[in-house]
Amino acid sequence: MGISNETVIGFKSVDFHFDLKRPLLDEVTFNIRKGSKITLMGQNGAWKSTIFKLINGNIKPKCGTINVDQKLTIATGYQVVLPEDKELSVSEFFRKYSRDTDSFNIDRQIAEVLNAVDLKAPLDKKIQAFSGGQQARLLLAAALIQKPDILLLDEPTNNLDTAGIWHLTDFLQNYENTVVVISHDAEFLNSFTDGVIYLDVHTKKVEQFVGDYHDVVEKIKRNIEKENMANARLQKEAQAKKDQANVFAHKWGKLRAVAKKMREAAAEMEDDMVDNRKEDKTIKDFTIPLQENVGGVLLEINSVHIMNQEEVVVKDVEVQIRKDDHVLLSGPNGIGKSTLLEKIVNGDESGCKLAEGVKIGYYRQDFSNLDFEQSVYDCLRGAASDELSEQDLRSKAAGFLITGEIMKARIGDLSEGQKGLVAFCRLVFLQPGILILDEPTNHINFRHIPVIAKALDEFKGGMILVSHVNEFVWQIRMDQYLDLD
């Protein structure tokens, strides 16, 4: 079909806020054309998902207008399965989201969308019984069964293995309808993106760019450099005017009037300065300290339980993880990687033995090991040692872009990306003997990933890592490989 000149989604001067003192969107204007494939880009916490909710009509703008072609249908592929959907069977799940009421048609459509996402799923199997990667495919299939004219995808590659990402990429490249995607996977986005809508978390405004993802990222970088150079020039000129004004202000007569004009000129220059793009900050380099007095074999794995053709089987392995041993755990979606990691953390995997007294730093992909009712401050304070001063705690948190305002927020109210940064900051305070990391790049802004990779590469304790993002894994030293397939 290709891209047409017809606009299917239009925002004009849209404002949105939950709290008048904290606007989320300020006079946002953009248009999306029929058949285009658009990336919605912005720093963690830029409320990109809010744009989706406004498009869907789930929330209404406070000011401005949103025009969506009423003849067109919209479906959203969400990041995570809703809690109330987890108890549904596959058949019940798709019947909930299908717009068709004919039972025979629905069964045929279920088969078609499962084939489209390359997933074999028994119709009577509960959604919660699927792995994270399989649930990601089910979420996409639930959007596709609605046969949307406009498909909104929120972090669709999270939890997908390499084969799943390739399949999704191929699907989107050949998909003829309009697509808007939120994702931090640069290579995935670059494979199909026609343009980018860039949401600035500081100014609450958007810029719209045409081109592939890598080109747009470069354009944004050049724009920021130009703005910073212009700001520096204006600041220098304004300061010179102020200095002259201070000299003339002490003179008599006409020189005082000249001083006043110079101050006014300096103020105008400062008004012309654009706000620095704080959303483009990257987290600071950090180190995850190693637990004191650990040594020898920290974790021994002799056997693991995995899924094979819907059956649980025992696989004999031989892995010993000592201090400074990094292990990459691999295998396709559904084989049981996340389940194995959880069992190791909880001490429930009979073939795994953790050395006494070794602290585990667990990064769970859905953050369910965090207390969503806790404040960010209480979460971090609880992980830190009693000796850590209040100033040091807040200083280290600031390195992860965790501001004083975020410190006061409930963890459950944070964006997924912000939860990820809190989880990494917590690992720093925890000082573990062994790290267990399940898809730690999910939801994380691409700018932060090299910093995180460097910290993990330099970690002196034991580590088990699950990640399907090759560019991330390649930056981390791996000493052993455990393939469950």
Paired strand residues for 151: 75, 179
Give residue 457's identity as a one-letter amino acid code: D
> At 107, is the secondary structure helix, strand, or coil?
helix
List of E strands, 334-477: 352-354, 360-363, 434-438, 462-466
* pTM as predicted: 0.68
Distances (CA, A) of 385 to 284, 379, 382, 393: 21, 12, 8, 10
End-to-end Cα separation, the chain, in angstroms: 40
Cα gap 174→235, rounded to integer Å:
50
Nearest partner of 461 among 286, 320, 325, 341, judged by Cα? 325
Q: Which two tokens stand for residue 445?
A: 């802004």
Quick one: three-class SS letters along 302-359? EEEEEEECCEEEEEEEEEEEECCCEEEEECCCCCCHHHHHHHHHHCCCCCEEECCCCC
The pLDDT of residue 1:
55
Nearest partner of 41 among 417, 473, 472, 420, judged by Cα? 417
The pLDDT of residue 252:
54
**Domain ranges, ordered by start, for the chain:** 7-217, 218-280, 297-483
The pLDDT of residue 192:
86
Cα gap 5→21, rounded to integer Å:
38
The pLDDT of residue 300:
93
Does residue 416 contact residue 183 with C-beta atoms inside 8 Å?
A: no
The pLDDT of residue 415:
83
Cα gap 374→414, rounded to integer Å:
11
Distances (CA, A) of 468 to 135, 330, 351, 471: 16, 8, 25, 9
Does residue 362 contact residue 403 with C-beta atoms inside 8 Å?
A: no
Does residue 5 contact residue 33 with C-beta atoms inside 8 Å?
A: yes
Which value, to the nearest 10 degrees, does the dihedral of the CA atoms of residues 306, 307, 308, 309 take?
A: 180
Q: Architecture of 297-483 per CATH?
A: 3-Layer(aba) Sandwich (3.40)
The pLDDT of residue 271:
60
Low-confidence ranges of the chain (pLDDT < 70): 1-2, 43-46, 103, 223, 234, 238, 241, 245, 247-280, 309
pLDDT in tens, 191-246: 888 888 888 777 778 888 887 777 777 777 776 777 777 777 767 776 776 777 67
Helices (H), 249-314: 254-272
Domain 7-217 belongs to what topology? Rossmann fold (3.40.50)
The pLDDT of residue 422:
95
pLDDT in tens, 94-150: 999 988 777 678 888 998 888 888 888 888 999 988 888 888 889 989 988 998 999
Q: Which two tokens stand for residue 176?
A: 């003829």
The H or E element that residue 430 is part of is helix 416-430
Cα gap 259→240, rounded to integer Å:
12
Does residue 29 contact residue 206 with C-beta atoms inside 8 Å?
A: yes
The pLDDT of residue 120:
86
Which distant-in-sequence residues (6+ apart) come within 8 Å of 354 by Cβ? 298, 299, 344, 347, 360, 434
Assess whether the region 7-217 and the region 297-483 belong to the same CATH fold: yes
